[in-house]
Every structure is written in C-alpha cells, then in structure tokens.
Amino acid sequence: MIHKKFLLLIAGLVWLAAGINIFRIGVTASVPAWDLWMIFTSFAILLLFHFLVFRRMVKKHTRRILGYLESRQPFYRFFNKQSYGIMAFMMTFGIGLRLSGIVSDIFIAVFYTGLGTSLLLAGVSFIFQFAKFTRPALTKGEISQ
C-alpha cells in the first residue's frame, strides 16, 4: 500500500514509458525521409489526441485518485478497470495493426510519432500533478520573504 498521491507518479511513469515506446516505433519505421506534410500530420495527431483524449484523461484520473477516501491504496489503483481494458485494447490493436501489414510504414511513422508524443505529454502531465500535490504548502511567512 502506498500513499494515493504516488499513484499519480506511477500513472505518469506508465504513460511516459508507453509514449517513449510508441514514439520509438514511429521514428524507426522504415521511411526514407520525412516530408513536410508528414510532420504537420503527425503534429495534428498529437494535438487531436492531447486535447480530445489524454488531457481529459489526466484530469479525470487525478480527480479519481485524489478522491479516494483512504490515503493508502494498492499501487495498481492508478488505473481503474475500464482504463486497464482500454490499455489492453490499444496494445492489442496496435500490435495487430503493425503485424498485419494493412497499413504502410509511412502511416506507422506519422501516426505513432504523433500518438507517442501525446502519450509522453500525458505522462509528464501526471508527473506534474504528482509534484503539484506533494510539494509542501507555503506558509504566510515564506510568501512574504
């Protein structure tokens, strides 16, 4: 059992690791050279996933984690059951998509680089939430100095 605030750190590290791995797959896809349209598309995917999915997810899970009544929780409670299911689906779908050969290496490069960066941002966001809720509150004396 750990303090519930550390669940934010664990979530951050998990999403950071996922983001690094997905980004690495995108960058190492067999693409001879990146064209300008590929960079813009990857950036659009980053923005889409960041603002429509992962930013909301970080807020939702932060509220859920900090809302636990008991301060000590099992380490695996950084996700709820639904989130574990979504993660398993995403991993299975991503691996299956790559192994099937249905999509081109250019698609893998562009999509995975944008998605991976968005996952990295989610990880960093969770780590910022951890830092925000673990730093000591400033006293009035410290503020005036």
Domain presence at residue 69: yes
Domain-located, residue 142: no
Which residues of the chain fall below pLDDT 50? 143-145
Residue for token pair 């966001």: 125
- H helix or E strand, kind and range, residue 23: helix 5-27
Query: Does some domain include residue 74?
Result: yes
Domain assignment present for 45: yes
Q: 43 lies in a domain?
A: yes
Number of structural domains found in the chain: 1
Task: Note the pLDDT of residue 138.
Answer: 54
Residue 114 lies in a domain: yes
Predicted pLDDT at 13? 97
Q: Which residue range is the domain that position 30 belongs to?
A: 2-135
Q: Which of 6, 1, 4 lies closest to 127, judged by CA?
A: 6
User: What per-residue confidence (pLDDT) applies to 140?
Assistant: 56
Residue 140 belongs to a domain = no
What's the predicted TM-score (pTM) here? 0.86
Q: What is the pLDDT of residue 141?
A: 52
